[in-house]
């Protein structure tokens, strides 16, 4: 009887572990980044906690506020630079004069869909 009880417990634990794996599957990437950030910021937390005379909650709160700002800052600046370059490209393309000559249209006529539009 003891063998069956142990087997049942092992099967139930294995099924729960499999269900937990399936539930956490969409979050593996976020969990990995969280583990990396926790590993990298643990010394900063210890240093800041010593500076704040043992206030662990205040240290964690400051790190929680500053890390997203530190990560979002470069991304926002890159996004702004990309937006400026796209605006410059649009302005440049609007200033260009598009010239279609007859030879270009003649080259497009053999293509079934484009030829009907070009002709």
Compute CA distances 17 → 4, 5, 6, 14, 27, whole Å: 20, 18, 16, 5, 16
pLDDT along the chain (119 residues), means of 10: 88 96 94 93 95 94 93 92 94 80 75 69
pLDDT at 93: 83
The dihedral over CA atoms of 49, 52, 58, 59, expressed in degrees to the nearest 10, equals: -30
pLDDT at 118: 61
Predicted TM-score of the model (pTM)? 0.53
CA distance 16 to 24: 12
pLDDT at 98: 72
SS (H, E, C) 68-82: HHHHHHHHHHHHHHH
pLDDT at 95: 86
């Amino acid at each position: 009887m003891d063998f069956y009880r142990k087997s049942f417990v092992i099967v139930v634990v294995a099924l729960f572990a499999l269900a937990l794996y399936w539930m956490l599957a969409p979050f593996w990437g976020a969990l990995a980044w969280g583990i990396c950030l926790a590993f990298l910021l643990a010394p900063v937390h210890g240093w800041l906690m010593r500076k704040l005379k043992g206030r662990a909650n205040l240290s964690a709160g400051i790190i929680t506020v500053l890390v997203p700002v530190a990560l979002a800052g470069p991304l926002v600046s890159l996004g702004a630079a990309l937006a400026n370059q796209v605006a410059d490209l649009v302005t440049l393309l609007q200033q260009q004069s598009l010239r279609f000559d007859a030879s270009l249209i003649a080259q497009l006529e053999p293509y079934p869909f484009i030829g009907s539009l070009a002709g």
